[in-house]
Structure 1
Amino acid sequence: MFELRRLRLLHEFALRGTIAEVAAALSYSPSTVSQQLAQLEREAGVALLEPDGRRVRLTAQGRLLAAHAARALELDEAARAELSSSADSSAVVRIAVMPTAAEALVPPALTILSERMPRLRVEMREMAPEVGLFELQARGFDLVVAEQYPGYTRPVSEGIERTLLGRDPVRVALPRGDRARGLADLRDRAWVLEPEGAAVRQWAVQQCRAAGFEPDVRYEATDLVAHARLVAAGHAVALLPDLIWTGDHASVRLLDLPGSPVREIFAATRASSRDSARVGAVRDALAEALAAHAPH
């Protein structure tokens, strides 16, 4: 009989690729991870790992057992979800959320949950969607709030389900005194965008190119509040979603983009937790918080 804890270590190794990363993710020492995987090899009766330079990699048998491990973990989670009681639950739901959701959605969602499920403990970590979605697959979180921009579909992972929470308009943010009438008028402005590699950065650059110019990106920041403050201070222009304006946006001027694009905000969960009343309650509360966000 395989021990579920060791199967999870193998599953994590299949996702992360190194003993050190598995150890860091699960708060174990590398030697402990190695010892437990060695024990799993003895239980399996076949080699699961083989040398690969200074590191190790999965053998064919190791990949096969890792696939079974993923299914075993899904069954364990599904069983726990069905057995859980929403009325009396005092368990934990771990969520990873993008920065705008951390500011605008999580506080009102927690207020809703405090009334409906007062014993439920929600633990939140602000995290880039790309990282959060990976950690969801690795079982580091129960739910991830992420976004998707038009034309940039995020990769679909087996065993992960997405629920649309709502749509969030994206507009051009300008300093109050800027008299530009549209995106094409901003070819000579300084821009603030997210760092290279972010889906929203690629999308924003494509919007500018469609308007006939390459943006002069002088400032990069992952925090959209920093974008808004640079715009308000008159140093840059930006493409910002409405959700960032949790308060008054009188410090900037907003222009609609051609076609009035929106980003989709979704909650990602593992398919094995679809029957979890706790995860479902958190997802519903986040959707209600987004629906209640005042339009601008």
Structure 2
Amino acid sequence: MFDLHRLRLLRELKHRGTLAAVAAALSYAPSSVSQQLSQLEAEVGVRLLEPVGRRVRLTPQAEILVAHTEAVLERLERAEADIAASLTDLTGTMRIASFQTAAFALVPTALSLLRDIYPALRVHVRQMEPESSLPALQARDFDLVIAEEYPGNPNPRPAELEQEDLLNDPLHLALPEPADDADGPTAALRSLADRPWVMEPKGTTARHWAMTLCRNAGFEPDVRFETTDLLLHLRLVEQGHAAALLPDLVWSGQPPTVTLRQLPRGQRTRRIFTAVRRGRSQHPAIRACRLALQQAARQVTACIDA
């Protein structure tokens, strides 16, 4: 019988990449992690790690072990959910990661709903972009992640995670001054070819989508401002410093404060969803958080539609 604790360390190494990262995440000394993995190799009887420069990578046999470990941990997640469902009070701690606009527009309302119904449930929230939060969810740093998917840029869907749609968030071209929309969405984009732009940083899904959108309209945008803070995007547009691509959630159901124009067909909404580890979706705390977020999303959507 293999030691489950050591198997989890091997799984952590797969998700975090280095022994130092595993040690930091679990508050161990790197030497302790290395020793535990050496003992696991002795138990299994095959080599599990091989050096690659100053790092190590998992052997094919280690990958097999990690796949089985994932299945065992999923079963334990289900057991934890069943035990929690058998209790009358909802207690414990929920760790949520959310990107900025969802944290701004949805999370406070959801927290109020949870506080009123489940006062003994502790909820910790951390702002984090999906590029980082979804891998961190797999690494068990969070229990639930609120993430986004831009049109034409589907996210990877790891088998270890379960997704549930939350809402479709309309996207707009935000202009630094009033302009008519007579010539259509592509022409509106092209008319800003010589203007400064604000976009999210390189390497993000949002930046890739925005660059593709502009290039398909026939120009390379002059990106002078880069930040993941969409409220700063909005402020730069409001004061005439840049054009931007903004979602409705930036206004949290309030009237827009800048001139907005439609985007080309097929590029007008981003998908907002929640993700949890497989086997954990029926945990009462997960179900409660998802329900509260759905109610918050309905409130914001109702304000936008009104």
**Which position in structure 1 is the counterpart of 2:62?**
62
Q: Aligned partners of 1:27, 1:249: CA distance in 2, in Å? A: 47
**CA offset digits 1:142-166 (Å, max 9, x no partner):** 1111111111100110121110001
Q: Tell me the TM-score normalized by structure 2.
A: 0.90
Q: Give the fraction of aligned pairs with identical amino acids, expressed as a percent.
A: 52
Contact 2:253 2:304 in 1 (8 A): no
Shift of 1:7: 1.6
| Residue of 271, 274, 279 corresponding to 1:272 | 279
Contact 1:204 1:239 in 2 (8 A): yes
**Which position in structure 1 is the counterpart of 2:101?**
100
**Which position in structure 1 is the counterpart of 2:304?**
295
Q: Aligned partners of 2:155, 2:256: CA distance in 1, in Å? A: 33
**Which position in structure 2 is the counterpart of 1:130?**
131
Q: Aligned partners of 1:247, 1:226: CA distance in 2, in Å? A: 18
**Which position in structure 1 is the counterpart of 2:184?**
none
**CA offset digits 1:114-167 (Å, max 9, x no partner):** 122221111111111011111111111111111111111001101211100011
**Which position in structure 1 is the counterpart of 2:18?**
18
**Which position in structure 1 is the counterpart of 2:240?**
234
Aligned length: 295
Unmatched 5+ residue regions in structure 1?
Answer: none
| 2:192 pairs with 1:183 | no
Q: Aligned partners of 1:30, 1:220: CA distance in 2, in Å? A: 36
Distance change >3 Å, CA 250–CA 51, structure 1 → 2:
closer
Q: Tell me the TM-score normalized by structure 1.
A: 0.93
SS at match of 1:204: helix
**Larger displacement relative to structure 2 (27-36 or 37-46):** 37-46
Shift of 1:24: 2.1
Supply the AA of the counterpart residue of 2:268.
Answer: P
Moved over 6 A (4+): none
Contact 1:168 1:241 in 2 (8 A): yes
Q: Aligned partners of 1:45, 1:264: CA distance in 2, in Å? A: 46
Contact 1:180 1:186 in 2 (8 A): no
Q: Aligned partners of 1:39, 1:208: CA distance in 2, in Å? A: 54
Contact 2:238 2:258 in 1 (8 A): yes
Contact 1:4 1:73 in 2 (8 A): no
**Larger displacement relative to structure 2 (200-209 or 40-49):** 40-49
Supply the AA of the counterpart residue of 1:198.
Answer: T
Distance change >3 Å, CA 215–CA 248, structure 1 → 2:
same
Supply the AA of the counterpart residue of 1:220.
Answer: E
**Which position in structure 2 is the counterpart of 1:205?**
211
**Which position in structure 2 is the counterpart of 1:257?**
263
Unmatched 5+ residue regions in structure 2?
Answer: 182-187
**Which position in structure 1 is the counterpart of 2:185?**
none
**Larger displacement relative to structure 2 (234-243 or 275-284):** 275-284
**CA offset digits 1:21-63 (Å, max 9, x no partner):** 2112223221121122123223333332233333332233222
Q: Aligned partners of 1:247, 1:269: CA distance in 2, in Å? A: 27
Computed over aligned residues only, the root mean square deviation of the Cα atoms, in angstroms, reads 1.8
